[in-house]
Structure 1
Amino acid sequence: MEPWLDRVMPGQDADGPSAERDAVLSALNGVMGDRLAADANPLALDMELRQDGQSLDLDALRASSAATGKLLLLVHGLCMNDRQWLRAGHDHGLHLARSLGYTPVHVRYNTGLHTSVNGRQLANLIERLVAAWPVPLEAFSVLAHSMGGLVVRAACHSGNNAGHSWPWQLQRIVFLGTPHHGAPLERAGHWVDGLLGSSSFSRPFSRLARLRSAGITDLRYGHVLDEDWQGHDRFRRRPDRRAVLPLPSGVACFTVAATLAARRSRVADRLLGDGLVPLHSALGMHDDPARCLAFPPAHQYLAFRTGHMDLLSDAGVADRLVQWMADPPEAGLSP
């Protein structure tokens, strides 16, 4: 480990890495994970499936008879990890498990890598997970926060191209504050400040964020595909030239957006957003009609006076998730 990391990374509990240490390691991967991976640095995180803060053990899950036929995959955002779905005493995955009988499985990954690279890895991981699920699969849904939504869209594209079976089994995707059309890169340091909070161990990562990992530069316009970034200088500003990629067909897609404003207005919609992601970006709206994502009105939810991270604990969001993920969907979905 680098000497300065000894000073900013908390130690390890007797039962394994502390949540605080995991948070710092995830932040480090978010801001420079591409470099760590390229150097085969042991601090680089590998993508893995997790449950209850540990690597997923399908044999133990099968032996315990704890798996249900309703699988919920949760994919976190930039600089985060699977343990950070718990916020302010609330966890959307546990809430959906108790309310609807889902079995939550989390993805932890190196958020400093390109979105398309993580998407390809996730597609392969899901294919193996679905094939090995201990009981017949009745429902398969995904809940993704922030950058995680871009990774999920990349995984759907990669899985379809690879001829995987799981895209045909996927029923729902809910995006929470996903920057479908990007988020300003000049706020990269604010991502780390907002995710870790101001503390003695988080400040060095705010400075490191100026290095801008591949994952962070992908957030400028919301890159999802290899061709969005390959052959380009990712540090050089240029017009949005992403390939047009619609939402995955045959999947019910929902989006939750947040705004710090008390009500909608042209200025607030364009400038404020949730503090990190512009409102139109989270809603899939774009000035170019060809790039707009087709979320039906009843598949959109707007949380007012809510910040980007508060989407993980907001009571209104939790209620809407239960409504959307009920199987079959509850009648009378309100827009």
Structure 2
Amino acid sequence: MPKKPKAAAKPLRHLRPTDLRAVTQLATQATRGVTTMSEGVHQAVWSSMGASSHGASKARARGITGFVYRAVHGVTELVGRGLQAAFTKMEPLLENLVDEPPETYGREAVLAALNGVMGDQLAQNHNPLATPMTLRWQGNVLNPHAMPPMPGATGKVLLLIHGLCMNDLQWRAMPQEGGKPQSDHAAALSAELGYTPIYLRYNSGLHTSQNGRKLAALLEQVLQHWPVPVEELTAVVHSMGGLIIRSATHYAQQDNLHWPTQLKNIVFLGTPHHGSPLEKAGNWVDVILATTPFSKPLAKLGQLRSAGITDLRYGHVLDADWQGRDRFTRTPDSRQSLPLPEGVACYTVVATAASKRSPLADRLIGDGLVPLASGLGEHSDPRHNLQFAKTAQATVYRTPHMALLNSPEVTAQLLQWLTPAKPAQRAGS
């Protein structure tokens, strides 16, 4: 019997009325950026031939050539603003004609990646594609001023925070043909230990401390309106999410908020407490490209990466770690020290793609993104050493960074750590 043909895909299901304006803004920025780089390379070549700039900027062309570049910039800006104004007027009409489609896994994955790479610029330009910070329960946004009905909610709140270029939907196990079995950490902790999971969705391109401050305030509001008394708050955090919960806890305590007193456990999964070598390599690329006049304009390509990404160079968690500094200048680690929060049981799971531990694999391989020492909070400077207890550390092997989200081995470790110890029986009972 012939197989039933699959229904034709509907690409428009991913689109929203605001997307036309958002994409136009991105296209305008991209065109102006490419034009600026082209002008810079043109000037570098021109200068190498001994041509004088007569006091003009070395990055800006003069004469007829300069006029052409300025015209391209001007026309691009004019067309971009005109299209954005037109699409802004069209949006109410489109919203009335088309029902708001439900979010799709594919669209949210693309938006999460885009926000991770350039989310700071999206937010700065008020681009509709910038992801606002929200807490979600069963797919519903938790508005502190109008909380949705939450039948079955318990006083044990489980907060899950994703990492860079990710979103809350990626905590769920996705079926894979022929792949490793996957697990849903939140579902297991809910079923076995009675937790009510809530998920954070945020713009991972912003500075970690900016997201930390936002989370501190949002969590305070949501827990104040929780439908039942909150008994405890436990956080399971992946990658950059670990830096954000540390930042949020610090600023919440600084502002005398209540929720840190309810915070009982934090489990870090592959968090780069002391940075990631990939961002350090990106910074080296900036330095190398800037060493010659021909490649210097191309250094702007590396500088498109977001504030969130550059915070991963050393693991920034505080405003003081980045404020007043050029984040693309190569500088030594000058972070403020921030220990793990007092009175909170902190655990860390690290992964390695290797089959067993070795000094070379730990330093060079790790999970592909985070070296083991960074994930374990180990540092040669005692001020930055986070000192996780040995019993609060776990290593999973043959596991890449992203697999920590759905690893059955990680789920088992979470259950082991978070299951309350049974009280000792009295003699004769």
CA contact under 8 A between 1:34 and 1:112: conserved in structure 2? yes
Deviation at 1:186, TM superposition (A): 5.5
In the alignment, structure 1 residue 45 sits paired with structure 2 residue 139: no
Find the residue that maps to 1:171 and give its secondary structure.
strand
Measured against aligned partners, the alpha-carbon deviations of 1:146-199 in whole angstroms (never above 9, x if no partner) come to 0000000000100010000111110000000000000021667xxxxxxxxxxx
Deviation at 1:294, TM superposition (A): 1.6
- Name the structure 2 match of 1:140: 233
- Name the structure 2 match of 1:198: none
Q: Answer with 208-217 or 37-46: which moved more.
A: 208-217
Q: Tell me the distance in 1 between the aligned counterparts of 2:309 and 2:422.
A: 35
- Equivalent residue letter for 2:23: E
State the identity %. 55
Measured against aligned partners, the alpha-carbon deviations of 1:258-311 in whole angstroms (never above 9, x if no partner) come to 011111111111111000111100000112122110210110110011100111
Deviation at 1:22, TM superposition (A): 0.4
Q: Tell me the distance in 2 between the aligned counterparts of 1:62 and 1:229.
A: 38
Which one of 105, 108, 111 corresponds to residue 19 of structure 1? Answer: 105
- Gaps spanning 5+ residues in structure 2: where? 1-21, 28-97, 176-182, 283-299, 425-429
Q: Tell me the distance in 1 between the aligned counterparts of 2:25 and 2:222.
A: 38
Alignment of 1:209-228 (within 5 A): 211-228=304-321
- Name the structure 2 match of 1:131: 224
Q: Tell me the distance in 1 between the aligned counterparts of 2:129 and 2:113.
A: 11
Which one of 161, 164, 167 corresponds to residue 78 of structure 1? Answer: 164
Deviation at 1:329, TM superposition (A): 7.3
- Name the structure 1 match of 2:403: 310
CA contact under 8 A between 2:140 and 2:148: conserved in structure 1? no
Q: Tell me the distance in 2 between the aligned counterparts of 1:210 and 1:295.
A: 35
Q: Tell me the distance in 1 between the aligned counterparts of 2:239 and 2:213.
A: 18
- Name the structure 1 match of 2:418: 325
Deviation at 1:63, TM superposition (A): 4.1
CA contact under 8 A between 2:116 and 2:205: conserved in structure 1? yes
- Name the structure 1 match of 2:86: none
Q: Tell me the distance in 1 between the aligned counterparts of 2:394 and 2:135.
A: 28
Deviation at 1:65, TM superposition (A): 2.7
CA contact under 8 A between 1:58 and 1:134: conserved in structure 2? no
Deviation at 1:2, TM superposition (A): 1.4
- Equivalent residue letter for 1:229: W
Deviation at 1:54, TM superposition (A): 3.1
In the alignment, structure 1 residue 249 sits paired with structure 2 residue 328: no
- Equivalent residue letter for 1:86: R
Query: Given the superposition, is the C-alpha separation of residues 126 and 178 from structure 1 closer, same or farther in structure 2, using an over 3 Å criterion?
Result: same
Q: Answer with 316-325 or 173-182: which moved more.
A: 316-325
- Equivalent residue letter for 1:293: L
Query: Given the superposition, is the C-alpha separation of residues 115 and 304 from structure 1 closer, same or farther in structure 2, using an over 3 Å criterion?
Result: same
CA contact under 8 A between 2:131 and 2:203: conserved in structure 1? yes
- Name the structure 2 match of 1:265: 358
Q: Tell me the distance in 2 between the aligned counterparts of 1:35 and 1:260.
A: 34
Q: Tell me the distance in 1 between the aligned counterparts of 2:346 and 2:233.
A: 13
CA contact under 8 A between 1:85 and 1:312: conserved in structure 2? yes
Query: Given the superposition, is the C-alpha separation of residues 99 and 5 from structure 1 closer, same or farther in structure 2, using an over 3 Å criterion?
Result: farther
Q: Tell me the distance in 1 between the aligned counterparts of 2:242 and 2:169.
A: 17
Find the residue that maps to 1:290 and give its secondary structure.
coil
- Gaps spanning 5+ residues in structure 1: where? 7-11, 189-206
Larger of the two Rg values belongs to structure: 2
CA contact under 8 A between 2:142 and 2:148: conserved in structure 1? no
Query: Given the superposition, is the C-alpha separation of residues 243 and 175 from structure 1 closer, same or farther in structure 2, using an over 3 Å criterion?
Result: same
CA contact under 8 A between 1:144 and 1:174: conserved in structure 2? yes
Q: Which has the higher strand share?
A: 1
CA contact under 8 A between 1:324 and 1:330: conserved in structure 2? no
Alignment of 1:49-68 (within 5 A): 49-56=135-142, 63-68=149-154
Q: Tell me the distance in 2 between the aligned counterparts of 1:330 and 1:181.
A: 37
Query: Given the superposition, is the C-alpha separation of residues 79 and 255 from structure 1 closer, same or farther in structure 2, using an over 3 Å criterion?
Result: same
Measured against aligned partners, the alpha-carbon deviations of 1:232-273 in whole angstroms (never above 9, x if no partner) come to 110011100101110001100000000111111111111110
- Name the structure 1 match of 2:173: 87
- Equivalent residue letter for 2:329: R
- Name the structure 2 match of 1:34: 120
Query: Given the superposition, is the C-alpha separation of residues 161 and 29 from structure 1 closer, same or farther in structure 2, using an over 3 Å criterion?
Result: same
Find the residue that maps to 1:67 and give its secondary structure.
coil
Deviation at 1:5, TM superposition (A): 7.8
Q: Tell me the distance in 2 between the aligned counterparts of 1:37 and 1:79.
A: 15
CA contact under 8 A between 1:182 and 1:281: conserved in structure 2? yes
Query: Given the superposition, is the C-alpha separation of residues 261 and 329 from structure 1 closer, same or farther in structure 2, using an over 3 Å criterion?
Result: farther
Find the residue that maps to 2:354 and give its secondary structure.
coil
Normalised by the length of structure 1, the TM-score is 0.86
Q: Tell me the distance in 2 between the aligned counterparts of 1:153 and 1:135.
A: 26
How many residues of Structure 1 are paired with residues of Structure 2 in the alignment? 308
- Equivalent residue letter for 2:267: V
